């Protein structure tokens, strides 16, 4: 299972941290956020600086958090994961019982990869993709003589949509000329209809993404789009590619122009750097841009191996999150990117974090003795300042925040207005919010009183480009799994989504019975029939 299977509350340093949490560092006293502290409380790796002077920690807390990392064996477990240890399991109970090797997609740049077999498979799939993209660019792969595909529809849901979509939108400034990417994820037919309405199907490639090849929403959307091709008199096989598990029902050359493979050891929410993201990103951004994403992710994967928390931003961010969540009793965390390009990155992190660490049993199959994953949410600044920041500053709930910013904008297009550029205004707002949340403001008018002591951190880099995006993605992936190791939970399964799927199928069976005019057997699942009728979906007679 890895280096440690002891829960947070059982670690020797736990009581010390509980004692320190009774009087956390006060950010509101004069000089609490001094220049010396700001300079000292900074961790850097792969072009990112993590500034954390506005967290409620001091050297004593940081030393204790270092002990927490060491005693839990968090980094050792991270290394065991990368080498291929079976981390996706619950001891003594039926579970997926798999390796966790999303990092192998990036280890292709390492002379001696941590897991040779997985890295070789990743290389083979990349070579497959490079050849395929070259065929698209030359027009050799095209249903139209001498014409090229101009559009790509990504059909997937969950990890097959959120991460890849977040990355594409983040890097759309680098999109290839005359290449456009669209996404269909929701089984709501309006989602697909809106896309189909505005594209030329004859010039559109469709990527269907499902590891199992049986994901209901994805297969439903696939048939919806295939029907559009049929109605247009087009052969859908010449337009559809499969991104799926080898040997799955979708791995079928009779239905698909080409197949790309994903593997059981890569979880959906960690799959953006596998073929799940590669095919779409390679089409929209180019093969070399996708390789830059991989290079950035690989560099951060290596940085996450550092045992000194002050030199390891992913580990330090994980520990600060545990300090706020488990010791200062903060239930949520807001991810606030001051970059419009990252508008869907918080949505990706919602899945990656909450599906990974929203667990209530340990890897030993016992109930956890402490809080695990926080509620993750967020939106880009500065729009958020005019929406929910009121609650962040003066609400009764303390919400730790992780701000993300860049020194330069992507398009290199800006204008000086009233003495400053738009990018300078953006960064000024980010820094101001961090300081205001930390220090607060005293006022005799209670309506204008700011309590302060609202902890936050800043992740800042020069510019959001493919390499940086890969680094940022890997930073958060590492943060999430390191927290899971410390909590001794399985961050790699998602049993919580299964019950709803089973019940949804029951309702679908009811719809079929109703459509076929069969008699309703109310003795079977009476609550389901009652809910359908209460919702006005079925009526007697």
* 79-112: pLDDT as tens digits: 999 999 999 999 999 999 999 999 999 999 999 9
Domain boundary (295, 327, 356) is at 295
Residue length, the chain? 541
Inter-CA distances, 253 with 125, 206, 210, 359, 509, Å: 17, 15, 16, 39, 31
SS3 433: helix
Q: Edge-to-edge strand order for the sheet containing 204-210?
A: 180-184, 151-155, 204-210, 240-245, 258-262
228 phi, psi to nearest 5 deg: -65, -40
Q: How many angstroms separate the CA atoms of 270 and 356, rounded?
A: 10
Average pLDDT of the segment spanning 458-487: 98
Residues 361 and 442 in one domain: yes
Of 492, 490, 479, which Cα lies nearest the Cα of 75? 479
Residues 151 and 82 in one domain: no
Residues 40 and 109 in one domain: no
Quick check: is 481 in a domain? yes
Residues 277 and 360 in one domain: no
Cβ proximity of 407 and 462 under 8 Å: yes
Res 2 pLDDT > 70: no
pLDDT in tens, 5-19: 689 999 999 999 999
> Tokens representing 361?
């049993």
Residues 376 and 479 in one domain: yes
User: Which residues, 6 or more positions from 242, have their beta carbon under 8 angstroms from its beta carbon?
Assistant: 207, 208, 213, 250, 251, 252, 255, 256, 258, 259, 260
User: Which residues, 6 or more positions from 478, have their beta carbon under 8 angstroms from its beta carbon?
Assistant: 78, 300, 301, 304, 314, 315, 318
Residues 228 and 348 in one domain: no
Quick check: is 96 in a domain? no
Pairing of the two strands 258-262 and 240-245:
parallel
pLDDT at residue number 512: 85
Cβ proximity of 94 and 320 under 8 Å: no
Quick check: is 515 in a domain? yes
Cβ proximity of 491 and 358 under 8 Å: no
Res 280 pLDDT > 90: yes
Residues 502 and 378 in one domain: no
pLDDT at residue number 6: 80
* Residue 382: cis peptide before it, omega within 30 degrees of 0: yes
Q: Nearest 5°: CA angle at 457, between 452 and 463? A: 135
Res 29 pLDDT > 80: yes
User: Which residues, 6 or more positions from 523, have their beta carbon under 8 angstroms from its beta carbon?
Assistant: none
Indicate which residues carry an active-site annotation.
Answer: 355, 386, 501
Q: What is the CATH number of the domain that holds 223?
A: 3.40.50.10490
Quick check: is 46 in a domain? yes
Domain boundary (270, 295, 320) is at 295
> Tokens representing 46?
């792969």
Mean pLDDT, the chain, integer: 95
Residues 185 and 272 in one domain: yes
pLDDT at residue number 3: 43
Residues 142 and 233 in one domain: yes
Please state the domain count of the chain. Answer: 3
Residues 279 and 188 in one domain: yes
- Could you give the percent of the chain with pLDDT greater than 90? 89
Q: How many angstroms separate the CA atoms of 360 and 338, rounded?
A: 33
Cβ proximity of 205 and 239 under 8 Å: yes
Surface-to-core class of residue 305, CB atoms within 10 Å of its CB (0-12 exposed, 13-18 middle, 19+ buried): middle
285: containing domain:
102-295
Which single residue is written with the structure tokens 């830059």?
A: 292
Cβ proximity of 49 and 42 under 8 Å: yes
Average pLDDT of the segment spanning 384-402: 97
Residues 187 and 320 in one domain: no
Count CB-CB contacts under 10 A for residue 124. 11
Quick check: is 354 in a domain? yes
> Tokens representing 489?
């939970």
Average pLDDT of the segment spanning 357-384: 97
Residue by residue, DSSP assigns 355-394 as HHH--SB-TTSSB-SS--PPEEE---TTGGGGTTHHHHHH
Quick check: is 61 in a domain? yes
pLDDT in tens, 478-509: 999 999 999 999 999 999 888 888 888 888 88
Quick check: is 12 in a domain? yes
User: Which residues, 6 or more positions from 417, have their beta carbon under 8 angstroms from its beta carbon?
Assistant: none
* Chain-centroid distance, C-alpha 195: 24
Q: How many angstroms separate the CA atoms of 455 and 319, rounded?
A: 13
pLDDT in tens, 135-190: 999 999 998 877 899 999 999 999 999 999 999 999 999 999 999 999 999 999 99
User: Which residues, 6 or more positions from 80, have their beta carbon under 8 angstroms from its beta carbon?
Assistant: 2, 3, 87
pLDDT at residue number 342: 98
Quick check: is 94 in a domain? no
> What pTM did the predictor assign?
0.96
Domain boundary (266, 295, 324) is at 295
Cβ proximity of 204 and 312 under 8 Å: no
pLDDT at residue number 522: 77
pLDDT at residue number 220: 97
Of 289, 269, 302, which Cα lies nearest the Cα of 467? 289
pLDDT in tens, 418-443: 999 999 999 999 999 999 999 999 99
> Tokens representing 364?
């030993």
Residues 108 and 130 in one domain: yes
User: Which residues, 6 or more positions from 506, have their beta carbon under 8 angstroms from its beta carbon?
Assistant: 525, 528
The pLDDT-based confidence of 539 (bands split at 50, 70, 90) is: low
Count CB-CB contacts under 10 A for residue 131. 12
């Amino acid at each position: 299972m890895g280096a440690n299977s002891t829960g947070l509350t059982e670690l020797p340093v736990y009581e010390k941290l509980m004692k320190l949490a009774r009087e956390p560092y006060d950010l509101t006293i004069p000089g609490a956020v001094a220049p010396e502290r700001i300079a000292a409380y900074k961790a850097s790796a792969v072009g990112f600086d993590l500034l954390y002077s506005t967290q409620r920690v001091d050297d004593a807390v940081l030393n204790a958090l270092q002990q927490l990392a060491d005693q839990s064996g968090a980094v050792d477990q991270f290394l065991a994961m990368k080498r291929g240890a079976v981390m996706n399991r619950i001891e003594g109970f039926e579970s997926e019982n798999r390796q966790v090797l999303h990092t192998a997609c990036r280890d292709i740049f390492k002379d001696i990869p941590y897991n040779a077999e997985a890295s070789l498979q990743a290389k083979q799939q990349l070579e497959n993709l490079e050849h395929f993209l070259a065929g698209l660019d030359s027009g050799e792969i095209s249903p139209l003589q001498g014409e090229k595909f101009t559009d790509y529809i990504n059909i997937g849901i969950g990890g097959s949509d959120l991460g890849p979509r977040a990355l594409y939108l983040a890097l759309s400034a680098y999109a290839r000329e005359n290449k456009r990417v669209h996404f269909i994820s929701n089984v709501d037919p309006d989602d697909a209809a809106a896309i189909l309405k505005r594209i030329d199907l004859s010039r559109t490639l469709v990527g269907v993404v499902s590891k199992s090849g049986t994901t209901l929403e994805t297969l439903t959307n696939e048939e919806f789009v295939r029907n559009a091709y049929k109605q247009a008199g087009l052969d859908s096989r010449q337009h559809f590619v499969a991104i799926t598990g080898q040997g799955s029902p979708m791995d079928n050359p009779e239905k698909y122009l080409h197949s790309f493979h994903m593997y059981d050891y890569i979880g959906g929410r960690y799959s953006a750097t596998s073929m799940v993201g590669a095919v779409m990103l390679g089409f929209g951004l180019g093969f070399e841009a996708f390789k830059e994403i991989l290079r950035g992710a690989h560099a951060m994967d290596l940085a996450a191996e550092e045992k000194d928390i002050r030199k390891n931003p992913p580990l330090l961010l994980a520990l600060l999150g545990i300090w706020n969540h488990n010791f200062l009793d903060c239930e949520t965390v807001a991810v606030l990117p001051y970059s419009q390009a990252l508008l869907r990155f918080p949505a990706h992190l919602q899945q990656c974090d909450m599906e990974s660490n929203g667990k209530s049993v340990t890897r030993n199959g016992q109930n956890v003795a402490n809080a695990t994953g926080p509620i993750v949410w967020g939106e880009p600044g500065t729009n958020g300042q005019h929406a929910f920041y009121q609650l962040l500053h003066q609400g009764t709930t303390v919400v730790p925040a992780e701000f993300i910013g860049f020194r330069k904008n992507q398009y290199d297009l800006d204008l000086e207005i009233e003495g400053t550029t738009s990018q300078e205004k953006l960064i000024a707002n980010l820094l101001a919010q961090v300081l205001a949340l930390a220090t607060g403001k005293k006022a005799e008018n209670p309506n204008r009183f700011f309590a302060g002591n609202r902890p936050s951190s800043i992740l800042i880099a020069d510019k959001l480009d493919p390499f940086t995006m890969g680094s940022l993605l890997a930073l958060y992936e590492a943060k999430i799994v390191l927290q899971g190791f410390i909590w001794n939970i399985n961050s790699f399964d998602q049993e919580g989504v299964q019950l709803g799927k089973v019940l949804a199928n029951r309702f679908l069976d009811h719809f079929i019975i109703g459509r076929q005019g069969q008699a309703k057997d109310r003795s079977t699942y009476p609550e389901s029939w009652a809910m359908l009728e209460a919702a006005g979906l079925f009526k007697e007679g």
